[in-house]
Amino acid sequence: MGSWHYDFQLDAITASDQLKKLFGLDPNAEFSFELFISKVAEEDRQNIFQVYRDPGLINPAHPRFEHEYRIQMDDGSIRWLKAKGKIFFNSDGKPIHFAG
């Protein structure tokens, strides 16, 4: 199991060493949203963009989320991952960060 944190203001994602391993990366590798998206199977990318980028789907009344997607590994194999987490909001109801 890996963990991650996405900061809306910085548009930056950080990942634990274990999560990097699940993505087939070295623990010292940089992890960015662009890298994350590039590893997600083409068929699942639109759903990921909606989950992370569509403000209409981000709702303080429903801060918890869970979704599954496929990762395309460098050797051509596919790995299924399940992301679970929570979105944190400021007092104005704007998302601050995801943690999962």
Supply the pTM of this predicted model: 0.79
Q: What is the mean pLDDT of the chain?
A: 87
Res 39: pLDDT: 92
Q: 4-44 pLDDT, tens per residue? A: 998 988 888 899 999 999 999 999 999 988 888 899 998 88
* Residues 6+ away with beta carbon under 8 Å from 99: 3, 4, 5, 6, 85, 86, 88
Q: Give the HSE-up count for residue 35: Cα atoms under 13 Å, Cβ half-sphere.
A: 14
Q: What is the dihedral of CA 42, 56, 19, 26, to 10 degrees?
A: 60
pLDDT at residue 77 tops 90: yes
What is the predicted pLDDT for the residue at 60?
80
pLDDT of residue 52: 64
pLDDT of 48 higher than 80? no
In this predicted model, which residue has the larger pLDDT, 60 or 26?
26
Q: What is the C-alpha to C-alpha distance for residues 94 and 4, in angstroms, rounded to an integer?
A: 20
DSSP 87: E
